[in-house]
A and B are shown apart, each in its own frame.
Chain A
Amino acid sequence: DTGVSQDPRHKITKRGQNVTFRCDPISEHNRLYWYRQTLGQGPEFLTYFQNEAQLEKSRLLSDRFSAERPKGSFSTLEIQRTEQGDSAMYLCASSLVLAGDHEQYFGPGTRLTVT
């Protein structure tokens, strides 16, 4: 078991560019969550998938953000026309909904810096 992985670990981009992040969950986990964390704050929920279906999106997720989870495996989070306010750590987590505890396991995160 390799745990949750995220790629890239760091991304520096110029304002207005598009960026895409990838998350690979623990292999048997059917739930996948995206969170965003800014400096000094706890993570905030963005969206989640059960298998390939995106079931909820936070109001934090503007129309510049899109997430996918094709085939219910890895997930991508794309940000179009990046703004400086998008600079944050983007965290992915996965869980097994059939398990009684629904414990979420987090990846190492992708730190985005928009210049």
Chain B
Amino acid sequence: KQEVTQIPAALSVPEGENLVLNCSFTDSAIYNLQWFRQDPGKGLTSLLLIQSSQREQTSGRLNASLDKSSGRSTLYIAASQPGDSATYLCAVPLGGSNYKLTFGKGTLLTVNP
């Protein structure tokens, strides 16, 4: 059974700081890994998807890396802004045909002005 862990559970930083969120998973037979953002009471917004054959993906100030063999991914946020405050979730589908996602509990990020 796939288990996904995210550390830290919560993080508070001053505006402008660079930060790293961590995600680990127990079964390395993943098809890809997705990072999502969730604002309070809202749905999920996909931020980045990394295929299992890739090492990293970048979108604007966000960079996600994947080390499949060690079961780890990181989400790097550069020059954080108060608007980045949200919960960040990582999710993985196991290889196979259903691609159902297993999620971590998320990291609650607060960026203080």
> How many B residues, CB 8 Å from partner?
25
Query: Is B32 engaged at the interface, CB distance under 8 Å to the other chain?
Result: yes
Flag B60-98 by CB within 8 Å of A: 1 or 0 each: 000000000000000000000000000001010100001
Tell me the minimal C-beta distance from A41 to chain B in angstroms.
Answer: 6
* Distance A74 CA – B68 CA, assembled complex (angstroms): 35
Contacts known (A108-B43, A109-B43, A111-B41); A56 close to B105, Cβ less than 8 A: no
Tell me the minimal C-beta distance from B36 to chain A in angstroms.
Answer: 7
Contact B103 A101 (CB under 8 A): no
* Distance A91 CA – B51 CA, assembled complex (angstroms): 23
Contact stretch, chosen from A13-21, A42-50, A61-69: A42-50
* Contacts of B6-27 to chain A: CB distance below 8 A: none
Since A42-B4, A91-B44, A103-B34 are in contact, a sample of 20 more A-B pairs with Cβ atoms closer than 8 Å, ordered by chain A residue number, is A40-B105, A42-B103, A43-B101, A44-B103, A45-B102, A48-B100, A93-B101, A95-B99, A97-B99, A100-B51, A101-B32, A102-B31, A102-B93, A102-B99, A103-B49, A105-B46, A106-B43, A106-B44, A106-B45, A108-B43
